[in-house]
Chains A and B, each alone.
Chain A
Amino acid sequence: MSIFDLTIAGAAKALAAKDISSVELVTAYNGAVEALNPRLNAYITVTAELALAQARAADARIAAGEATPLTGIPLAMKDLFCTEGVRTTAASKILEPFIPQYESTVSGKLKAAGAVMLGKANLDEFAMGSSNITSGYGPVENPWKRAGSDAKLVPGGSSGGSAAAVAARIALGATGTDTGGSIRQPAAFTGLAGIKPTYGRCSRYGIIAFASSLDQAGPMARNVEDCALLLQAMAGFDEKDSTSAEREVPDFSAAVQRGVKGLRIGIPAEYRMDGTNPEIVALWEKGIEWLKAEGAEIIDISLPHTKYGLAVYYIVAPAEASSNLARYDGVRFGARVDGVDLIDMYERTRAAGFGPEVKRRIMIGTYVLSHGYYDAYYLKAQKVRNLILRDFTDAFAKVDAILTPTAPSAAFGLGEKMDDPVTMYLNDVFTVPASLAGVPAMSVPAGLSAEGLPLGLQVIGRHFDEETVFAVSAAIERAAGFTALPEVRAK
């Protein structure tokens, strides 16, 4: 067995038993990063020396008997989390020279738990994308291949670097952020587990904002148990984020063991969309059977406003983004292109610093908030968002969790779906409603497509009931017995 076969939970046990040291583990991972990252481009910034120093400190901490389950565990940090003294780019050229003097709450909590940071993971620019092709630092390659083909596939997005790093085993786990599916869709595309917790569960302080009312941090890992360990450390109230929830963080690892006997699982009719890949539908049917076999009760439900999800999302998210990204003006930090006057400097700086997808969303967002259009777009979208939330509230009066597919297809090829942005937006069709409602949702690997690519199922829970989400996801994981590995990986 290779050191790369260890999960987080497994590595934690081995570290505690002194079978391995964190320095050994991190040295191995640093080497794997060095070997594979030039090809995969999963990291924008590699912090090998810092990782080694953190590993030494972790070993001392383990020796002193003060370890947490994450002490000495090498992780990839999505480059949307500000990290003190380490360049943070949001995959945008406009932040190329930006080194924060502060630490995001989530990365700070992982640091405090003794986790080791291998580097800053690539993503879609400002987290805007579903394929990681909008990064200002080049696309990420999915370590998975279609059977018999060497074509490069996308890892999904926006947390595509995090997904590729964990799948290729050049990180043991990773942080992601999810605004409309940015953790769940790449997790599904790379055969990983990933959870978007309830909005407010993790602090957004120090996370570069895309759409403030939707952004939420979460973990991506090889299995549900590892996700529980990571979320345990990441979650919690933070007085520096007014939208973070002042609630106790439950024991997520315990929830993973719960089982689903007696749970009522909702199957929403509206997610059976015309033209959905039959493989995906078949996998969903399998998931239903697995849960039934584990003792859950399957209940047909309706989420009637699902069909408006994407339209609402692509009004609300760009509206907030257009405002959130106004601060990148070249005045105080980041890149600046000089101009003849202030307006000229703004225009040159932003023209050079932002990529086409970011510009598109700023324009959409500016448009929907404009005088005369606000009521027709933004206000209407907020009203429909409330209806979508009500769909879930009504559903959760009858069921404890909801099962759906994560994405309408398996990973697609680099260069596919690029001609029309709307085709790309359709990737988020199953993930966006939970984001709009703020409820927790997890993708768990459940099988392979005929082409040999991983497919995921999504489990959606009540607000702040990640425990049930973990319990149901773990049941699917056990039943699916997903053990396939990508072609490109550290061995």
Chain B
Amino acid sequence: MSSYTLEGRTGTWEVVCGLEVHAQVVSKSKLFSGASATYGGAPNAHVSFVDAGFPGMLPVINQECVAQAVRTGLGLKAQINLFSRFDRKNYFYADLPNGYQISQFAHPVVGTGIVEIELQDGTIKHIGITRLHLEQDAGKSMHDQHPAKSVIDLNRAGVALMEIVSEPDIRSPEEAGAYLRKIRQIVRYLGTCDGNMEEGSMRADVNVSVRKAGEEFRTRCEIKNVNSVRFVMHAVEAEALRQIEVWESGGEVKQETRLYDPSKGETRSMRSKEDAHDYRYFPEPDLLPLILEQEFVDALAADLPELPDEKRRRFCDQYGIPFYDAGVLVADQTTADFYETVAKGRDGKLAANWISGDFFAALNRTGTNIETSPVSAEALGQLLDLITDKTINGRIAKDVFEEMVETSALPAAIVEAKGLRQVTDTGAIDDAVTKVLAENADKVAEYKSGKDKLFGFFVGQVMKAMAGKGNPALVNEAVKKQLG
């Protein structure tokens, strides 16, 4: 088990970290209004009177957002709370129209769960989930659009967010990154959040503290709104190093909210605990408690797609591929589906090798992805069929594949058009071997005097003479026989 520590002047420090991931729920309309929850649109185009906090307007819960939160909870192997409740979190800001955010404070819809992460060295670690709750997003303030005024876009105001809170189980930047990637993978599989951190539909608040081995937790700082996996990893390290420096210079880390500055690679103070808002949480009187029927939860559970961890194990069992390879193939749902289409009824290992080798290389080279790939899963499957039934050999298959990438033609057509069928006629192979050995009498003599490595040379020459089409096994056999 890898253990990450930082060396300070006074000794070795351990990093303690927990993440609060804010994931925007995929839904047609907002959490408490019928306005569109679609990303983009002209400023203030997706705003109802409810979202804008007009007098007399009331929130009405969007059932689909609740279902998405429950699906996510199920995906996190978490307890689903049949009773939950919304609270008001009160604070003033120009892009918070009501002067309060409707959130779940005391009674979240999802309770404790577990997420499995995998580290570089293959270690598997469990990170505890404390809770998941539903809340509304705020709008956006922009201060650079007018010399004297701030402008507000309320398109995002009221869009449903899931806040997924982890236990302080994370011990390194690598684990923080792996955890965030895993959460993103799970919500993408479930279709509950698109996971696009660039568009802000997923962001993380990172809680960091440091301690010496065996100590209780020390004071933590919260780094707000970090918006990429890489930045989260940097922020954990930068903040840990800062705190070690504070402790080691005889100071004391103060509980505060900080911001991560990616350009400088450092965190800086945003507000101290003394300046922290008193949010004056209290139960939202405009909404009844959220009571879920067990049947509702069961129906969602029954319809849940296969999750990456299960799929990975199944790929190993069903297709006999290594755990690592399976991990690559289940990274996202489309890759996994592509693999299954290719592997179904075929040699799973062969399919895995082709996809993670030549196929991924071709996507990289051509700047395409699985959806836009010039080679479909069906076509790749047909290519594997031609290899398996010995119509072509592996060497020729690579040429055929390149042709498929170029032209999107089907493999059988390419093989026919270019006459690439494998030669299995032993007479023709024997003739070619005889000819090659005759032309290289000196090498044959060397071979016979003990230079075994030349065997490969003879095979290569025979294949070359046959324009690559010789069946490799038969060629091997013929060369061996004639060399005696």
- Residues of chain A whose beta carbon lies under 8 Å from any beta carbon of chain B: 81-82, 88, 90, 95, 98, 100-102, 104, 204-209, 211-213, 239-243, 319-320, 322-323, 326-327, 329, 331-333, 342-343, 346, 366, 369-371, 374, 378
Contact = CB atoms under 8 A, between A and B. Distances in A.
A396 B355 CA distance: 74
B150 interface: yes
B304 interface: no
B415 to A, nearest CB: 64
Interface string B76-108: 000000000000101011100111100000000
B53 A213 contact: no
Contact of A326 (B98, B281, B288): B98
Contacts of A206: 56-57
Contact of B99 (A88, A323, A343, A369): A323
B53 A327 contact: yes
A209 B280 contact: no
Interface stretch (B10-18, B58-66, B384-392): B58-66
Most chain A beta carbons < 10 A, residue from B53, B100, B280:
B280
B59 A209 contact: no
B55 A212 contact: no
Contacts of A240: 58, 60
10 contacts: A100-B56, A101-B49, A102-B56, A204-B56, A209-B55, A209-B286, A243-B288, A323-B90, A327-B55, A331-B152
B484 interface: no
Given A243-B288, A346-B92, A371 B278 contact: yes
B282 A205 contact: no
Interface in B275-292: 278, 280-282, 285-288
B98 A327 contact: yes
Contacts of A333: 54-55
A205 to B, nearest CB: 5
A242 B287 contact: yes
B259 interface: no
A102 B49 contact: yes
Contacts of B61: 242
B52 interface: yes
A180 to B, nearest CB: 15
Given A98-B55, A331-B97, 17 more contacts: A207-B56, A209-B55, A209-B286, A212-B285, A241-B60, A242-B58, A243-B286, A323-B282, A326-B98, A327-B53, A327-B98, A331-B152, A342-B93, A366-B280, A369-B90, A369-B280, A374-B282
Nearest to B60: A242
Contacts of A370: 278, 280
Given A323-B282, A327-B53, A332 B97 contact: yes
Interface string B279-323: 011100111100000000000000000000000000000000000
Interface of B: 49, 52-61, 88, 90, 92-94, 97-100, 150, 152, 278, 280-282, 285-288
A346 B91 CA distance: 12
B5 to A, nearest CB: 37
Contacts of B287: 242-243
Contact of B56 (A209, A332, A366): A209
A204 B58 contact: yes
Contact of B59 (A95, A242, A320): A242
Given A243-B288, A323-B282, A342-B150, A329 B55 contact: no
A215 B54 CA distance: 17
Interchain residue pairs A-B with the least CB separation, the first 8: A326-B99, A212-B285, A369-B280, A213-B285, A206-B56, A327-B53, A208-B55, A82-B56
A420 B288 CA distance: 36
A332 B53 contact: yes
Given A207-B56, A323-B100, A323-B280, A212 B92 contact: no
Nearest to B90: A323
A249 B175 CA distance: 59
Contact of B55 (A88, A320, A366, A369): A88
A95 B54 CA distance: 11
A212 B284 CA distance: 9
Given A331-B152, A369-B282, A205 B97 contact: no
Nearest to B91: A326
A381 to B, nearest CB: 11
Contacts of B281: 369, 374
A333 B100 CA distance: 17
A212 B59 CA distance: 12
Nearest to A82: B56
Contacts of B92: 326, 329, 343, 346
A363 B67 CA distance: 38
Contacts of A371: 278, 280
A323 B55 contact: no
Most chain A beta carbons < 10 A, residue from B58, B60, B286:
B58
Contact of A331 (B56, B60, B94, B285): B94
A490 to B, nearest CB: 31
A207 B60 CA distance: 15
Contact of B97 (A81, A102, A104, A327): A327
Nearest to A215: B285
A212 to B, nearest CB: 4
A319 B100 CA distance: 13
